[in-house]
Chains A and B, each alone.
Chain A
Amino acid sequence: MSKKPAAQPTLHKVIMVGSGGVGKSALTLQFMYDEFVEDYEPTKADSYRKKVVLDGEEVQIDILDTAGQEDYAAIRDNYFRSGEGFLCVFSITEPESFDATQEFREQILRVKNDDNIPFLLVGNKSDLADKRRVPLETCRERAHNWQVPYVETSAKTRDNVDKAFLTLIRQMSRVKRGLAAEEDPAPDDAGRCKPSCCSIS
């Protein structure tokens, strides 16, 4: 039905993962439509697609918003398979969600079988600082361990929302151009990455 333009911009498939209720859909909707949805409605699997201009280049971002609930855990593999980048979201007010990120990370790595898969750890609900129960250091430490960037966002105030997505897309486009190894932002990250890469391949 839709006519495809001659030069289709690069498509980046992003998958939102994380426990239920941490704000995956809220982040997605804030990023897509600048709106904050107050009422909570568990997601099954939502699909969004948007064009963004990244560093002067127009790219298309496809967001798959997945279900956080454990009920749907069985079908996650299928989704993960098609993902090219992952936003792993937890709520800084909920340590359980933070713990769950470990599990998600492992599942993604298992399905994608790629340690360098673009991945971003996102601590959401930064506006609720007074209810914070996951210390910032802990979060940073985990990101550091995983060698992934850590961003704290607030879907409610749109704080760092664009930054989170754009950081991930930038990472993905670098990977796609095959430049991931050379232009790894942190030298020590790269140092730690290489052995693991080698060990897998």
Chain B
Amino acid sequence: MGPPPVVTGISPKEGPPGTRVTIRGEFLGTSAIDLIGLKICGCDCLLSAEWKSKNKVVARSGPCKGLGDITVTTRSGGEGTSTVQFRGYHESIGPVKESAVWVEEAAPPSLPWGRRPMSPTTYTPPDPLGLSTEGEDCKFPEEELHEMFPDGSGKLSDENFQPGWYLLEHHSNTSFEDLKAGMVFLQRKVEGQKEGQLSFLKANTGAVMDQLDRLVLLKNMYEEDQRKNGKEPLQSLETAIEDSIKLADSLFLEILSRKENADKTREALSLLTRHKFLFQLPSSIDQNIRKKEYDLVVNDYNRVKNLFGNTDVKLFQKILSEIDKKIEDLKEKLFVRMKTMPINVQEQMKYIRLLISLKWEEDAAWVAITARKEYLMSLLNKVKDHFKQKEEQDNNEKGKRHKSREEAEAARRSAWCGAACAALSAELAALWALARAYFAAELAGQPALSERHAQFKEMIIAGVELFSEHMRACLLSGGGVTSADAARARLVANLRHLREAYESLLKLDLPSQPLSIVERVIYDYRVHGMVVFLQRALKRVKGLADKETWKIEEFTEYGAITKLPHLLETYVKEALSDIHKCVWCGGRRESAALDAGPLHEHTRHVLHAYTRVLDALANDHSGQDFNNTSLSVALDQRLEETAASGAAADEGGSWQRRLLVAAVNARYTRRVTLANIAAAFDECTFPQPTQALKSAEESLSSLEASIAETYLEHKGDPLVGTIEPSMYMGRHKVASAELVDDARPYVYEIINNLIAVHAETDSVCGASAGRYVRDICETVCEEVARLAACAPPALPRPAAFRATLEYTLLSVAIRDHLTRKAENYLKEALAAVPPLELEEDKIRMQSIVEDFKKRMALQLASLNCNTETV
């Protein structure tokens, strides 16, 4: 608290009420609002106070009179003191005084007999000294009078009248002579009064006469009155008064009643104004409902309930009931609106809150949740129905090309998937948000019942399951395989839809169960995609048979192959890369990789199909007879045949050739392509389909074997068959004397045939051709042995020599292709022939063999070239 205010200066120090006073001092407040009180001579002047500074305040003096302190009160310093004083006085306005108002200057006629004012307060005795009083200007300071006459008074009528005061007050400037004259005047007046009645009457004759006249008049009037109204005038007076009262009543009755009405009306009006809120509420509710300002309605309603909830006034009750009805309607409307889908979650929550704040009986939020769930279900179903219907429509439309229809269906399904996904993610998000708010009691409702959690979970699961069911129906039952790019694009698009939906569900922080359902769908769809790709590969592989042109694409170390193995590799690789690209990698919170089982299974199918295709191709010889003639007649005839069936040759050569090519394909596939496929699996980081590869390898090798067998069967049998006739063609029996110097032609035929086989297989199979030649040699040797065994045991010398020669030449010719078994056969045949005993024979044999080698060098070279030694 600061120092109290002190007033040390005042300007002016006196003045009539309303004087502008400048108050100076110290600590008169730190600001205008700090100044909280100002009294001048006890009159509060704060209203007019004008704070200038802490040293100066300007105010107007109040209606005070006399000396008084100036008291300043401040908030910071409290009530203050003053060292100076203000004197207030009331100015009397006279003819010589400046005045703001008009003063009647003509003095009222002071008739000697005129009536004087009766009020004692205004009665001022005439100037007793008969001197004109001085003007106000020369007033003697009042405080000094007080000092001089502490107990006195200047008023003539007061008991403590002090003549000195009077004189100082009224005649301070009067000269002594004048005062003396006044004294004489006063004395004369006093003496005049003392002179007795006569002089008094003399002096006041006019007044006395006037009084007498009046008395006479009064008496006359009184008598007349008595005559008129009798001795007791009171009764008539009373009746007159009563009459007048009645009259007045009758006069005023109407006015009074009108006034009463007016009062009532006014009261009613004020009531209306006071309860304007209530009376206008129904219409304002309507208006706000129309404007959708539901919050306002609720606020107003709650307010009116608080204010008039338990009122006894009939009118209020009526209005309240009307309002209640409106609110009920509103509630119904809100409820319906809340339930009506589609609706924004925020809006729905708003409605729920409104309903709760309007005290809706049911669990509005739960109803909303249920409604939303139903909506989700119905939305999904609607999407499904829509697309199903479209599908049917399309199916009914005839004349469309199959492919385009398929395409359209694929696109439709894709659209279905997208729509369903979008619906699910949007609606489930909404539902979840709503439910979260509900369970977190954010909707301001009563806390959720415990079983509601389980119910809600079921709802979500039901919704998700419906979705998954639809999606399965939509995607997994997908029809035919269309073009690869389209399928891939669609697959990726669908998968993206699904994943987006899944993502959105993940973001919702849903429980794991519904998530896993969706995840399962995605997974299944991925598997489905994989299967689709593999099936497509399978289908293409199956179609390979048509693609085979038997054109040699490449000559590998395993022999000549067509494009089949490469196609297989390409198809499989394509499928794998598609799988890898599209479906293999899992999204967030999905199982990372697909199960290898179906992949391997389908890979196996593909490879098997391939094997089957090869098999079918190898064994397909419809319309082409096995050309045996080419064997027996060797090269020149072969040329002819080629010329004859040029078309066949163009297509890939003879049937045997195809057989061989197929074998080589199988072999190549087994050795190279399968390894490449395995590498491709590795590349795509798929698990190795070891089982499938192994079984494919096995089946391929068995195919190879069977092809080899078939080839041998078809090639060797006729070859072998020709031996016997040609052997006997030159007659087995030889003249004993005849000198045998050469083998019979069948040996050459055999050699030639073998050369043909070798050429054929070598042209196709390359290095691996030896196997076929070997096998044929074996059968040839077997046949030779058999024939030898059939020959008569005792041969004449030349025959034996010939036989030995023939077998030796044969063994020399096919030396490089002899297996152990074939060798045994030849030995067996040789054993059946008696050995050469004569030295001369031996020499001859030697020379013939040398000669044969020399002669047949070209043939032997062609037979033995390009052959790996056994």
A residues apposed to B, CB below 8 Å: 1-3, 25, 29, 32-33, 35, 43-50, 60, 62, 64-65, 74-75, 78, 81-82
Contact = CB atoms under 8 A, between A and B. Distances in A.
Interface in B554-596: none
B10 interface: yes
B8 A32 contact: yes
A47 B25 CA distance: 12
B509 to A, nearest CB: 77
Interface string B79-92: 00111110000000
B69 interface: yes
B412 interface: no
B192 interface: no
B10 A46 contact: yes
Contacts of A29: 9, 24
Contacts of B637: none
Nearest to B135: A74
B55 A33 contact: yes
Contacts of A65: 11
Nearest to A33: B55
A3 B81 contact: yes
A50 B83 contact: yes
Contacts of A47: 9-11, 13, 84-85
A74 B173 CA distance: 11
Contacts of B13: 45-47, 64
Contacts of A50: 8, 83
A74 B138 contact: yes
B9 A1 contact: no
A46 B12 contact: yes
28 contacts: A1-B82, A2-B82, A2-B83, A25-B11, A32-B24, A33-B9, A33-B24, A33-B55, A35-B55, A44-B12, A45-B12, A46-B9, A46-B10, A46-B13, A47-B84, A48-B9, A48-B10, A48-B24, A49-B8, A49-B83, A49-B84, A60-B83, A64-B13, A75-B138, A78-B139, A78-B141, A81-B141, A82-B144
A69 to B, nearest CB: 13
B34 interface: no
Given A44-B12, A46-B11, A2 B69 contact: yes
A136 to B, nearest CB: 32
Given A33-B55, A74-B138, A49 B9 contact: yes
A49 B83 CA distance: 6
A44 B24 contact: no
Contact residues on B (Cβ < 8 Å of other chain), bracket? 20 to 34
Contacts of A64: 13
A46 B15 CA distance: 11
A81 B84 contact: no
Nearest to B81: A2
**Secondary structure at chain B's binding surface: helix, strand, loop or mixed?**
strand
A2 B144 CA distance: 21
Nearest to B11: A46
B140 A78 contact: yes
A74 B172 CA distance: 13
B14 interface: yes
Contacts of A75: 137-139
A43 B11 contact: yes
Interface in B17-38: 22, 24
Nearest to B39: A1
Nearest to A46: B11
Q: Which 3 A-B pairs have the closest CB atoms?
A: A46-B11, A47-B13, A49-B83
Contacts of A60: 83
B468 interface: no
Nearest to A28: B9
A78 B55 CA distance: 29
B37 to A, nearest CB: 12
Nearest to B137: A74
B9 A82 contact: no
Interface in B44-73: 55, 68-69, 71
B81 A1 contact: yes
Interface in B139-198: 139-141, 144
Given A25-B11, A29-B24, A33-B24, 13 more contacts: A2-B69, A2-B83, A29-B9, A32-B8, A33-B55, A46-B9, A46-B11, A47-B9, A47-B85, A48-B8, A64-B13, A81-B141, A82-B144
A138 B55 CA distance: 39
Nearest to B141: A78
A134 to B, nearest CB: 28
Contacts of A32: 8-9, 24
A3 B14 CA distance: 22
- Most A CB contacts (10 A, CB to CB) among B9, B14, B144 go to B9
A155 to B, nearest CB: 15
A1 B39 CA distance: 11
The listed residue with most A CB atoms (<10 A of its CB), out of B10, B15, B144, is B10
A122 B406 CA distance: 125
Contacts of A35: 55
A48 B56 CA distance: 13
Interface string B650-677: 0000000000000000000000000000
